[in-house]
Amino acid sequence: MKKTEKITPARLPEKARKISDAFKAASGKKVDLFVYGTLMHDNYVKLLINRKPESIPAKLSNYIRIAPPWSFPFIVKHYGAVTYGRILKNLTRDEIKILDEFEKEGVLYNRQTVIARTKESRQRCLTYMGNISALQHSFGKDLRFENRYRVFIQKKIDDVVKEISDDKNEMTHRLMHELSSSAIDEIIQSHFDGNYICSYIMIQALQDAKPPKLLKVLENKELLPYAGNYMRLASQHIILNQFVEKIRADHPEAVWLSEQYFRHGLAILVAFILYNRRAAEINILLKEYSLDNIVPDRRYREYAKLAIDISDKIYSSAETEEIVKFVESNWYSTPTPLGAELEFSYLGKNAVNSRPGQDPVYDGFYWFKDFDMYHRTWRLGGHVDSHREITMSQERHRGFLEYALGRYNIVGDLSRPLFDCPWGMSILINEAVKFLDIPPHSLHISMALPKGEKSFITDRPHNEDDLACLMMLGGDIRPDPNGTLRAIRIYDRELETSQTVSINFSDRKYHFAKHDQDRSEASEVMEYKYMRLLKDWTDYECIIVTLKGYQLATKCRPLKGSPENGKELPEQAFLKKWAEKPIPVSENSIIKFIETVEKGIILENNTKKLDDRKQKIMQRIQDALIKKNEYIQKFYEK
């Protein structure tokens, strides 16, 4: 009897071999996956598994794709239906495990084997089927990929935090998360930027973010008079940080901002409002828990734990919901992204040249780093501004406490705009002043200008009456100690340093969001630096809208401290002279200035006429100018 010849896969007919390979594709070391929703986007897949796998178009018969408003897409069996998608080829088992975690396999989705059809043949592969009841309960507020991806990365980080913690207690876990939150945020941002970070590097980053050994810090007798104040300041920021975390978890959709903006910005605004509403109760608890003084043998972690406990006692879901609705009802977006820098000091303009002990509360923030305040204030871009170049290697220096809102990496000078709503920025500035309760000093407002062939910053000189109008809106015009009317910030030379030729009124800057960006990718920003930050509630919305409209309409040059030609510009000389003796402008000059600002806002919004809200803002600007102009006139008539 003739022996039957064994047919190997290599000797199979081509079509039969393809079918054989296809049916093995879901059972070997590498598998294929049919995707039909979020995972059809290559950039999303790369964020999850750190590569873009080969993929081919495919369709799945007798399954219907459903994309309700309350959920991500899912598929269910439906005879006669067809779902179109793609097959991701040759995924490893480890990669499937990552995707299982992202899709919450076994809870929100069930991974099953199906037969899809490609252009050439039938293909056995895996896919995710929706668990409809679980999806209905789980989604509704986490519909964006960014939100789900953040939760996915956060879980990975939480697992690492638990791995390096000896104590598995939930409070200990929260404590480590709070004290390492700046490092955690950098890890999350790195993943969003496409830079995958392995668990080993995560562990190193989190261990490097450990808080100081307070007992060791307190061995330095020079800082003891200020230590209680620093621990109270740290505790305040921990409470605020906890509010931000809770708000982002409870209201992810309401406080979501696109990748262009600093993703914590809107949650920070809501957290500030909540904190200040409950400030009286918080202050009582800070004192009751002795977080405003040094308790013998109490560690830094114990201070942080007590601050977290206060945040839990104070936080109210119902009150937060009310604040969120208040913000939503007043919010309006504009095409111009905004940023702000706020300076605070007990010493005013003398902060950068202060002597040891001159500031009785914080010693000019000289001990800021010793008490780990960079890590406590990172969401607010907190640092000590000595009006010199910032370096972390320089352990200590005296200066202003500055909130550089949206600046999430001080040393690397990385920042994103906070958001684009002038009303929201005004509220946040006022709430920050109220929260900190340190004498406010100065305010910088920055705006990212539209990109195009022509810049909105040119060499065009400013009109002097226009500059006078800008000064009347934010230039701190009041009598000096001798009763003489001045524009105090310029007259007192607060806008000058030993390195500048003249006043630093405004400046063109380039803001980078990532380390590897060059200037062509950066945002071109105009920053106005002349405003006084005030203790009393102030309508900064009008100032912000004015600056935007003025710059967009005039495209005037920056008036920076060190002009490129090394000589003082005529406008700078004018401002110094005007600051010495403010002079009212004519009614016609105010009308022309308002027309200029309105022209710029019309240009910004690409419209022929401003809507009612913006027209009312323009009227408020005009009223404020007329009022200040009359104040100057009447001052000299006394």
Residues with catalytic roles: 103
The tokens describing 20, both together, are: 């054989």
**Planar angle of CA 317, 323, 324, nearest 5 degrees:** 85
- What's the burial of 112, exposed, middle or buried (CB within 10 Å: 0-12/13-18/19+)? exposed
Q: What is the dihedral of CA 199, 204, 209, 212, to 10 degrees?
A: 140
Dist. CA 197–CA 160, nearest whole Å = 12
Tell me phi and psi for residue 415, to 5 degrees.
Answer: -155, 160
Dist. CA 497–CA 492, nearest whole Å = 12
Q: What is the dihedral of CA 58, 60, 65, 71, to 10 degrees?
A: -70
Among 57, 153, 60, 144, residue whose Cα is nearest residue 98: 153
Residues across the chain: 638
Contact 443, 591 (CB under 8 A): no
What is the rounded radius of gyration, in angstroms, for the C-alpha atoms of the chain? 30
Among 568, 548, 552, 504, residue whose Cα is nearest residue 530: 504
- 576-607 burial, b if ≥16 CB within 10 A, otherwise e? bebbeebebbeeebbebbbebbbebbbbbeee
Q: How distant, in Å, are the alpha carbons of 164, 176, 182, 202, 233 from that of 209?
A: 13, 9, 8, 11, 19
Within 10 angstroms of residue 424's Cβ, the number of other Cβ atoms is 22
Within 10 angstroms of residue 467's Cβ, the number of other Cβ atoms is 23
The tokens describing 349, both together, are: 């303009």
Dist. CA 96–CA 90, nearest whole Å = 10
Q: How distant, in Å, are the alpha carbons of 114, 138, 155 from that of 134?
A: 22, 6, 19
Which distant-in-sequence residues (6+ apart) come within 8 Å of 194 by Cβ? 43, 46, 47
The tokens describing 515, both together, are: 């380390």
Dist. CA 524–CA 421, nearest whole Å = 18
Can you say whether the dihedral through the CA atoms of 375, 377, 382, 383 is positive or negative? negative
